[in-house]
Chain A
Amino acid sequence: QKEVEQNSGPLSVPEGAIASLNCTYSDRGSQSFFWYRQYSGKSPELIMSIYSNGDKEDGRFTAQLNKASQYVSLLIRDSQPSDSATYLCAVNSGYSSASKIIFGSGTRLSIRP
């Protein structure tokens, strides 16, 4: 079982709709959760971090965390063509505040006009 699992996609969403990206993780001790966006050929760019159960909103983005279900999601409202990218879910690997983060393989998102 992979430590961080994501559907590889591609996920195709019409412009203006809500894109929903999901991620599950295996380490129950994980405390920090991140969503990165990566355009082709570029490095990952942080979109959101979340540390406690519930929702966290930042502009058009909402991260949701459910530690009991070991599940993290990212919602993108009013999807724009510029949102087309690969979205990487990342989870810190343990109790240490300086632990490495483990990435999923990413979900490719395509926003169609």
Chain B
Amino acid sequence: DTGVSQDPRHKITKRGQNVTFRCDPISEHNRLYWYRQTLGQGPEFLTYFQNEAQLEKSRLLSDRFSAERPKGSFSTLEIQRTEQGDSAMYLCASSSQGGGETQYFGPGTRLLVL
């Protein structure tokens, strides 16, 4: 049983560039979540998918952020025109319906915008 995987693990980019992160959930999990975490804070919810449907988006998710889960398996999170304030750890989690909502986290992608 492989856990949640994320790619890349680290990303350094210049302000204004676009970046894309990938998340592969635990294989039997139909729910997938994206969170953002900055230093000294808990993870903040960004968006959530059930299968391929994006069911909820946080107000934190500005127009520069978009997430997809086209086939209900892996998901991508894209940030366009990155800003220094986007620097954070981006965490993906997955859970199974009927699994008590327990979310299992991937290792995260650490983004640094210069």
Enumerate chain A interface residues (CB-CB to B < 8 A): 4, 8, 32, 34, 36, 42-46, 49, 51, 88, 90, 92, 97-106
Contacts and interface: CB of A to CB of B under 8 A. Distances in A.
B102 A43 contact: no
A103 B35 CA distance: 10
A90 B43 CA distance: 10
B67 interface: no
Given A32-B100, A43-B105, A97-B97, 17 more contacts: A34-B103, A42-B108, A43-B91, A46-B103, A49-B100, A51-B100, A90-B42, A98-B48, A99-B101, A100-B48, A100-B56, A101-B45, A102-B45, A103-B42, A103-B44, A105-B41, A106-B41
Interface residues of B, number: 26
Given A49-B100, A92-B101, A98-B101, A43 B106 contact: yes
5 contacts: A34-B102, A42-B108, A88-B42, A101-B45, A103-B35
B97 A98 contact: yes
Interface centre among A36, A43, A92, A102 (most CB of B within 10 A): A43
Contacts of A102: 45
A97 B107 contact: no
Contact of A45 (B31, B50, B89, B105): B105
Contacts of A98: 31, 48, 50, 55, 97, 101
B85 interface: no
Contacts of A34: 102-103
A15 B12 CA distance: 39
A32 B100 CA distance: 8
B101 A105 contact: no
Contacts of A42: 107-108
Given A43-B107, A44-B91, A103 B43 contact: yes
Q: 6 nearest interchain CB pairs?
A: A103-B42, A100-B45, A43-B105, A43-B108, A103-B43, A44-B105
